């Protein structure tokens, strides 16, 4: 009987995948995750009633702003599907709750109550998602209508009932995706909501790249190869910065009693401070804000009757266009600023110095309490400069890559790559933890 190849002759990643599927419970988790993502992609192609597909397709092909919104929905917005909003209203609610927790005493008390408090805060996030989804859905419908993609949107006359029905459908689609994400978190592998976002971005990238290559006039093989090299370099850079961290050494004083005598022992550990602690949140903040000015300017330019008002609106519309230098310069500045802001907010919620002191830990050479807090803050600010400029570079990379290659394929996908790579790394870590529990080699370590 022929013997199977020894483990050392197979590539490590392949062997880890074989080991994962050889375990019934791990295999069940992986297959469940894949099944839920397939359900998400099916829902993303179910349109809301009364949509004219041809007019909608033409509008999205000619508008960069709508194309930006569409890539993060995995094409669901362009199809005007029931999942057109994705899970982004829930992400917005999560961010709002994170920012509000240190400011509202009730939420701060809940965050310190362990699992029950966390579940209560999550319930508040679900409640907040519904009105946010309704507002975001109506804003997107009005935006698409202003560009001629759809019609009969409004709350006056015969348009009220169809508009309400469409909004209810879109809100229900968002809550259904949130439910799918939570099912993946509980019974699958990885963070479910992040995987839903990942699935939408990955599903939309092939079409984005194809359209970019087809619509770029005179695209040479050298430009395509350069674009491919830039993409691979960006992926490597993202992995490097996502994993980069500064480890602050910590010592713990432990006491033990042996033979009626007390002994003090020293234990060593570290506090990992990530270079990119803010993740993708600054990018979402910056692009969400920068979408509004050109849209508002276009609305004023098409509705105003005063000549000088129209001229000012057209100036801002041209200056803040996603194809202009000023637009990307403002995006870079805002990403850097939001990276510092969000990192400091999250750091203040962690209370590292207080937790270390409570556990009997201290940083060598630094007094416990306030001096420890100030020292960690100084270190965090220094390393956040690297993370902030990295995020700013990722944000403006589409503009730089388009200028170098003449290919529009990376117009939005650099941000998508950051999200996708981060989700893949996190999912692989969780899958590796499942494998290490069963004494198998994981995907990473």
Q: What is the CATH number of the domain that holds 189?
A: 1.10.3370.10
- Is 413 inside a domain boundary? no
- Is 265 inside a domain boundary? yes
Q: Name the band, by pLDDT with cuts 50, 70 and 90, for residue 260.
A: low
349 three-state secondary structure? helix
**Whole-number pLDDT of residue 158:** 74
Same-domain check for residues 23 and 90: yes
DSSP codes, 300-326: HHHH---HHHHHHHHHHHHHT-TTSHH
**Whole-number pLDDT of residue 229:** 79
Q: Which two tokens stand for residue 233?
A: 């370099």
**Whole-number pLDDT of residue 175:** 92
Same-domain check for residues 243 and 371: yes
Same-domain check for residues 148 and 250: no
- Is 173 inside a domain boundary? yes
Please give the Cα distance from 318 to 25 (Å, whole number). 56
- Is 411 inside a domain boundary? no
- Is 115 inside a domain boundary? yes
- Is 377 inside a domain boundary? yes
Same-domain check for residues 189 and 225: no
- pLDDT (average), residues 381-410: 79
- pLDDT (average), residues 124-130: 91
Least confident of 1-10, 191-200, 423-432: 1-10
Assess whether pLDDT exceeds 70 at residue 222: no
Q: Name the band, by pLDDT with cuts 50, 70 and 90, for residue 5.
A: very low
Same-domain check for residues 163 and 277: no
- pLDDT (average), residues 196-220: 65
Same-domain check for residues 323 and 394: yes
CB 278 within 8 A of CB 342: yes
Assess whether pLDDT exceeds 60 at residue 67: yes
DSSP β-ladder status, 361-362 and 261-274: unpaired
- pLDDT (average), residues 127-154: 80
Q: How many domains does the chain have?
A: 2
Same-domain check for residues 204 and 133: yes
Same-domain check for residues 295 and 393: yes
Please give the Cα distance from 379 to 353 (Å, whole number). 13
**Whole-number pLDDT of residue 407:** 59
Same-domain check for residues 271 and 297: yes
Tens of pLDDT, residues 287-327: 777 777 776 776 676 666 667 777 787 777 777 777 778 88
Average confidence score pLDDT of the chain: 76
Percent of the chain past pLDDT 70, that is, above it, reads 75
- Is 313 inside a domain boundary? yes
User: What is the H or E stretch that residue 263 is in?
Assistant: strand 261-274
Same-domain check for residues 105 and 189: yes
Range of the domain at 323: 220-406
Same-domain check for residues 87 and 226: no
Same-domain check for residues 255 and 303: yes
- Is 414 inside a domain boundary? no
Q: Name the band, by pLDDT with cuts 50, 70 and 90, for residue 176.
A: very high
Assess whether pLDDT exceeds 90 at residue 427: no
pTM exceeds cut of 0.85: no
């Amino acid at each position: 009987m022929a013997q199977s190849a020894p483990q050392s002759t197979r590539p490590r990643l392949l062997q880890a995948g074989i080991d994962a599927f050889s375990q019934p419970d791990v295999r069940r988790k992986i297959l469940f995750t894949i099944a839920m993502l397939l359900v998400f992609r099916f829902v993303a192609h179910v349109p809301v009633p009364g949509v004219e597909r041809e007019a909608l397709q033409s509008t999205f092909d000619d508008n960069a702003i709508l194309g930006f919104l569409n890539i993060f929905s995995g094409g669901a917005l362009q199809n005007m599907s029931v999942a057109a909003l994705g899970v982004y209203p829930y992400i917005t609610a999560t961010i709002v709750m994170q920012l509000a927790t240190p400011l509202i005493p009730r939420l701060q008390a809940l965050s310190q109550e362990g699992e029950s408090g966390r579940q209560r805060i999550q319930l508040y996030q679900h409640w907040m998602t519904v009105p946010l989804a309704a507002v975001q859905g109506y804003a997107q419908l009005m935006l698409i209508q202003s560009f001629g993609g759809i019609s009969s949107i409004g709350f006056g006359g015969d348009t009220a009932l169809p508009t309400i029905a469409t909004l209810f459908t879109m809100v229900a689609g968002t809550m259904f995706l949130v439910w799918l994400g939570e099912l993946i978190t509980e019974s699958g592998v990885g963070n479910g909501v992040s995987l839903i976002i990942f699935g939408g971005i990955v599903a939309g990238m092939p079409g984005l790249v194809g359209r970019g290559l087809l619509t770029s006039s005179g695209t040479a093989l050298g430009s395509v190869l350069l674009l491919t090299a830039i993409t691979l370099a960006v992926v490597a850079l993202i992995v490097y910065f996502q994993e980069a961290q500064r480890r602050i050494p910590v010592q713990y004083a432990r006491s033990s009693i042996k033979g009626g005598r007390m002994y003090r022992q020293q234990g060593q550990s570290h506090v990992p401070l990530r270079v990119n602690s803010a993740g993708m949140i600054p990018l979402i903040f910056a692009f969400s804000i920068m979408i509004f000015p050109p849209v508002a300017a276009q609305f004023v330019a098409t509705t105003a009757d005063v000549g000088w008002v129209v001229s000012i609106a057209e100036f801002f519309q041209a200056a803040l266009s996603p194809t202009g230098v000023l637009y990307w310069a403002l995006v870079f500045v805002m990403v850097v600023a939001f990276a510092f802001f969000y990192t400091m907010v999250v750091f203040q919620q962690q209370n590292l110095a207080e937790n270390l002191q409570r556990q009997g830990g201290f940083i060598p050479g630094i007094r416990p309490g306030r001096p420890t807090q100030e020292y960690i803050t100084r270190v965090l600010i220094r390393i956040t400069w690297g993370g902030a400029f990295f995020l700013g570079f990722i944000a403006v990379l589409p503009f730089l890559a388009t200028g170098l290659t003449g290919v529009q394929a990376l117009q939005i996908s650099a941000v998508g790559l950051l999200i996708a790579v981060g989700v893949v790394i996190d999912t692989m870590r969780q899958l590796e933890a499942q494998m290490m529990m069963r004494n198998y080699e994981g995907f990473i370590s």
